[in-house]
Amino acid sequence: MKLLFVVPGPDAFLADAMAGLAGRGHDVTLLTAAPAWTGAAGIAVDELPVAPGPWLQTGARLHRRVSERPWAVAPHVQREWIRHRGPRLPAAGDWLAERAAAFDLAVFAPCASSTTWAGMPLVHAPVVLHPALRDEPALHLPVVDVVLRMAHGLVFTSGEEAALAGRFVRTRPCLVVDEGSPVALDRYERFLRSRARR
């Protein structure tokens, strides 16, 4: 399979999964902002620059506002909030629009990130999402629900996370992986194959 991973920051399970999939002969490309990923064996890494400016401070202010009263947050404030969930990668949109069609499957993580929210609609291939959900007020925002519903499959790292997502999205195929389990890669690979473009 020709796989695209869009993961702005480090993630232990995905690092192991990408290396394992590349070792099994899959063509793995990673779009990221994390220099720590660079040089992983068998993985083509495109490291994009992070936007300069005060987005961190603005994002913190918006997060406080959203967390205090999620039921009263106007749609334009929700969009602004998720746009400031970093790291912000301004070049990701153009990269995805130009190159994502070449892949059989795209894998995004996490759910509440500006790169995931803006990038998933640009990918003309099936998308699997690692939501990395926590039980927090922002999870109740419609803008987060939209991201969850755009995915063709969801991968959770615990049964608790899957149960939490089940309160919002009931109709998406999903997989719960036990991080560190020797059979996790086999199950993960089968799940990605089941979601990939045929």
Predicted confidence (pLDDT) per residue in 162-198, tens digit? 888 888 776 678 899 876 666 688 899 999 999 998 7
- Tens-digit pLDDT profile for residues 76-130: 888 887 787 777 788 899 999 999 999 999 999 998 888 899 999 999 899 999 9
Q: Model-level pTM? A: 0.88
Q: What domains are defined for the chain?
A: 2-195 (3.40.50.2000)
Q: What is the DSSP string of 68-110?
A: H-GGG--HHHHHHHHHTSSS--TTHHHHHHHHGGG-SEEEE--
> Terminus-to-terminus CA distance in the chain, angstroms?
10
Least Cα distance to 135 among 162, 170, 107 occurs for 162
Strands of 27-32's sheet in order across: 43-47, 27-32, 2-6, 105-108, 127-129, 153-156, 174-176
**Amino acid code (one letter) for 91:** A
